[in-house]
Amino acid sequence: MATNKNNRVLIGMSGGIDSTVAAILLQEQGYELVGATFRTFAPTPVPNTQYPIGGTPSITHCASEQSILDAQRMAATLGFEHHILDFCESFRKEVIGNFISEYACGRTPNPCVLCNSHIKWGKLMQAAEEYGCDYIATGHYAQIAEHRGHTYLKTAVDTQKDQTYFLWMLTEENLRRTIFPLGGLTKTEVRQIAFKHGFEALSKKEESQDICFIPNNDYRTFLSQHGVSVPQGEYINAAGKVLGMHQGFCHYTIGQRKGLGIALGSPKFVTKIDATNNRITLGDREDLLTTEATIADVRIRDWDWLHESPAVQARIRYKSPATPAHLLDGTSIHFTTPVWGVTPGQSLVMYKDDLVIGGGIIC
């Protein structure tokens, strides 16, 4: 094992196109690579086993051994060493445990945000030291920039693929030792690079949008298999009138319209989840418009800059447009124009001039 750091980069590899092309580009730039793939979970619960809310899920191994094999093959093809890092226990506690407990409280979590900050960067930084690497790299679509003496995430050139929303919790220390080779490229260009280097099948492979540890994206079954069992409760309107019965508050999220199992003559949306009383409020689409939001676990890179220039662009979910806003008192956000479907548990990420200046978790 090397002990002298000499332009070595530990690259997180999934076996997919983005991390493979990132590796190709880094090699072309003269970096010495060390590949790493995470073993985090397996989606098969222990049959007939119930777990306490927020307790121990049965997920202990990697869901896709094939992805590990793919990553190993890519590293071998490109000619650099590869390691499998077992993060199962940390992933189970910090990501899956949070996912379960948040839904059990009537909130809608974003596990990718926690995984990136706590698992991918948290553990990769440790592994980089072990393998004598100066930097870590991933196939995320993001850039890094310096401003006013601070290091920031910057949005990717490909705005449709930009992943800064999921990376907002990364610290300056994280970013100073990170390389994002794909930040200045479009997805089309990445596919062309893969094709050019002989990875034709990979260049045409479709991407999965599912949560990695939820089989078939069926989070309701996943929750019930891991101890989140909530009885039927009441649907009500804004005035408190009972409209019918739902299947338990944890099976719903703010803004949901389909799968409600109730006919009321016109489309209705989930506008509020009351976990304490197991009640769900239904309303019209316009009832989900608001100009206010409250956030917790607030992290701001440069408070002085924000005080000098309080206007920001705020994004309340990954694919939502960034909306002009102001952070009023450190925890309250006022949007210049109404936003739709502010959802407790999701991240609110703030931008200035394409830089991620901070964020928080919606209350």
Contacting residues for 185 by C-beta, under 8 A, at least 6 apart: 157, 158, 193
**Cβ atoms within 10 A of the Cβ of 305, count?**
16
Cα 219 to Cα 224: distance, rounded to the nearest angstrom: 9
Contacting residues for 58 by C-beta, under 8 A, at least 6 apart: 44, 45, 46, 49, 51, 225, 226
Which run of H or of E encompasses 8? strand 8-12
115 is catalytic: yes
Cα 7 to Cα 2: distance, rounded to the nearest angstrom: 12
In the chain, the largest separation of any two C-alpha atoms, in whole Å, equals: 70
**Cβ atoms within 10 A of the Cβ of 184, count?**
13
One-character DSSP codes across 331-359? SEEEEEEEEE---TTSEEEEEETTEEEEE
- Structural tokens at position 254: 């703010």
Say which of 62, 112, 115, 133 is annotated catalytic: 115
Cβ(94)–Cβ(121) below 8 Å = no
250 is catalytic: no
- Structural tokens at position 205: 């492979």
Contacting residues for 193 by C-beta, under 8 A, at least 6 apart: 21, 24, 25, 185
- Could you tell me which residues are beta bridge partners of residue 83? 36
Angle value at C-alpha 158, between 152 and 159, nearest 5 degrees: 75
- Residues acting as catalytic residues: 115, 212
